[in-house]
Amino acid sequence: MESNRQAGIAAPAALVWLAMLLAAAAIVLASSWPTAAALAATGAPQAIGQASARPVIALSIDGPIGPAAADHVSKGLARARDRQAAAVVLRLDTPGGLDTSMREIVRTVLASPVPVVAWVGPGGARAASAGTFVLYASHLAAMAPGTNLGAATPVALGGSTPARSERSASEAKALNDAIAYVRSLAGLRGRNADWAESAVRDAASLPAEAARQRGVVELIAPTIEDLLAQAHGRTVRVGDADVALDVRGAAVETLVPDWRSRLLATITNPNVALLLLALGFYGLVLEFMHPGALVPGTVGGISLLVGLYALAALPFDHAGLALVLLGLALTAAEMFVPSFGILGIGGTAAFLLGAAILFDADAMPGLALSWVLVGGVALAGLAFSLLVGRLVVRSRRRRVVAGGEAMIGARGHVLDWAGARGHVLAHGERWNAESEHALERGQPIRVVGRDGLVLRVAIDERAAHHDQRIEAAARAERTRGAVRADRVSDDRRAS
C-alpha cells in the first residue's frame, strides 16, 4: 500500500522532470543546430569569377574538429573527385579538436586525387592545434592577413608542456608520435619541419606573414578570389604526379554540411550528449514505473542510444560516466525509497563530480561542457528529489481514505448491542463489532482495529462529550424556556 502510494506521488513529479529535460534538450539542440541564417552566411552553392568546366569546390571547417568535420571533409572531397574539380579550397578557422578526427581528415586529404588548398581565413581566423596538422597535409597552404597557426602540443598531456624529466612514458610516446607525424607531413609537402616540431613540442605559434617567411605556408591571400589568382599555375604533388593548378576564373561552389553532418555535429556536442544520457535514463525509469506508457520508454531508449553513440565518438573518462549514471540512479531511487532527500542530494553530488571529470576540456578544444547546463540539470534533479520527499512526508501524515486501513479511526454509532458484541454503523455500512466495553444503542463509537469483517470498537469519548455538551445545552435551553413561560403566565393572571 505504501509503495503504491509513493509511486503514485512520484509519477506526476517524474513526468514534470522528464518534460523539463525534454525542454532543455530542445533548447540546446536549437542553439547547436545551424540556422538558415548561419547556412546562408556559410554560403549556398555560388560562383565566383567566370564559369569553367572544372569548378573549384570550397569547404569550411568552422569550430572544433570532430566527427562531423571529418564527415563533411570526406564527403566534400568525394564530391570534388566526382565532379573532376580543378581544386578544393579548405577554409580553416578552428581551435583544434579530436586527434582521431584530425587524422581522418589528414588521411582523406593525402588520398585525394584533387589538389587541396588549405586557407586560414578570413582575417581573425586561426588553425591551432589539430588545424596545424591539416594545414601541413594540404597540397598548398595559405593564410589571410591577421590569422595565425600553431600551438599544436597534444593537450591530452594536461594542457601544458612539462619538462622532459617530468614527462611520463605515455606522455613522451604521445608527444613523440605527434612530432613524427607532423614532420612526415612537412617533408611530404616541402615545408618547414623544424618549426612544425617546435609547434608540437613547445606550442609555438606564428602569424600569417611570419609563417610565409619561415616556409610554413606558401601564400598570403585576403580573399578566395585572390587566393585562386595567386595559386593559378603553381605545381603541386598529387599522389605520384605533379599537377599544375588551373584555377584562374574557375567557378567556386561552396558546399555546406548536409543534414547528417549537422546532426552529427549537434549530438557530439558534450552538452547535448550529457542531456541525452539524462533524458534517456529518466525516460526508461518512468517507463518501468508505468509499463505501457510507451512515450517515455520510446523517447528514453532513443535518447540513451544516441547519447551512448555520442560518447563513443568523444574522449571520455569511464569513472566520470560511472559517477554520472550513479547520480542519475540515486536521483531516480528517490521516487521509490523514502530517504527524505538523502538519495537526491547524494545523486546530485555524484552527478556534478562525474560531469567534472567526464570530458577532458584540454583534449577537446572548443568542446567543453557548459557548467550552466550541468548546474541546471543537477539543481533540477535536486529540486525534483526534494519535491518527491516533501510529497512523501505529506502523504504519510495524511489520513488513509481507501482500503481496509481507512476504517481505522472511523467514527460511527451503535445499532444494537448484547454483551461484548453487536452491530455498528460506520462509513454508512453495517458492521459486526466487538468491544471490551458495554455499549448502548445510539452510543458513539470509534474503530480501533479490524479482524476480517469484524471491527474492534471503543467508546468515542470525544463524540460522547460533545453529545453530552449538546444535551446539557438543550436541557438548559428547555429550563430557560419553562421559566419564561411561567413568568408570562403569572403576568397574565396578575393583570
CA pair distance 441, 424, nearest whole angstrom:
9
Percent of the chain with pLDDT over 90: 33
Work out whether the CA dihedral 146, 149, 150, 154 comes out positive or negative: positive
In terms of Cα–Cα distance, which of 48, 74, 47, 49 is closest to 61?
74
Q: Where are the beta strands (DSSP E) in 136-291?
A: 140-143, 148-150, 205-207, 219-220, 235-238, 241-244, 252-254
CA pair distance 257, 59, nearest whole angstrom:
9
CA pair distance 265, 310, nearest whole angstrom:
10
pTM above 0.75, yes or no: no
Phi, psi of 424 (to 5 degrees): -130, 160
159 or 461, which is more confident: 461
12 or 486, which is more confident: 486
Over residues 86-106, the pLDDT tens digits come to 999 999 999 988 888 999 999
CA pair distance 346, 323, nearest whole angstrom:
11
What pLDDT, on the 0 to 100 scale, is given for residue 402?
Answer: 58
What value does the mean pLDDT take over residues 369-374? Answer: 82
DSSP assignment, residue 248?
T
CA pair distance 414, 422, nearest whole angstrom:
8
Over residues 127-166, the pLDDT tens digits come to 999 999 999 999 999 999 999 999 988 864 334 444 444 5
Over residues 405-459, the pLDDT tens digits come to 667 878 888 899 888 889 999 888 898 999 888 888 888 888 888 888 888 888 8
* Tally of residues, the chain: 495
What value does the mean pLDDT take over residues 47-73? Answer: 79
Over residues 156-202, the pLDDT tens digits come to 433 444 444 455 677 788 889 999 999 999 999 999 999 999 999 99
N-term to C-term CA, the chain? 76
341 or 263, which is more confident: 263
Q: Give one DSSP letter per residue of 173-225, joined into a string.
A: HHHHHHHHHHHHHHHHHT--HHHHHHHHHS--EEEHHHHHHTTS-SEE-SSHH
What pLDDT, on the 0 to 100 scale, is given for residue 163?
Answer: 45
CA pair distance 207, 421, nearest whole angstrom:
102
What pLDDT, on the 0 to 100 scale, is given for residue 41?
Answer: 36
What pLDDT, on the 0 to 100 scale, is given for residue 194?
Answer: 95
Answer yes or no: is pLDDT of 389 > 70: no
In terms of Cα–Cα distance, which of 45, 100, 101 is closest to 73?
101
In terms of Cα–Cα distance, which of 268, 303, 302, 297 is closest to 283?
297
Three-class SS state of 191? coil
What pLDDT, on the 0 to 100 scale, is given for residue 239?
Answer: 86
Answer yes or no: is pLDDT of 250 > 50: yes
Cβ-proximal residues to 396 (8 Å cutoff; 6+ apart), any chain: 338
What pLDDT, on the 0 to 100 scale, is given for residue 75?
Answer: 93
What pLDDT, on the 0 to 100 scale, is given for residue 265?
Answer: 82
Q: What average pLDDT does the structure give for the chain?
A: 80
119 or 36, which is more confident: 119
Q: Which residue has the cell 540513451?
A: 304
CA pair distance 461, 466, nearest whole angstrom:
8
Phi, psi of 356 (to 5 degrees): -70, -30
301 or 287, which is more confident: 301
Q: Are 5 and 405 in contact (CB under 8 A)?
A: no
The pLDDT confidence band at residue 1, using thresholds 50, 70 and 90, is: very low
Q: Poorest-confidence range of 177-181, 264-268, 470-474? A: 470-474
> How large is the angle between the packed helices 130-137 and 169-189, nearest 10 degrees?
30
Over residues 324-349, the pLDDT tens digits come to 889 888 877 876 776 666 787 888 88
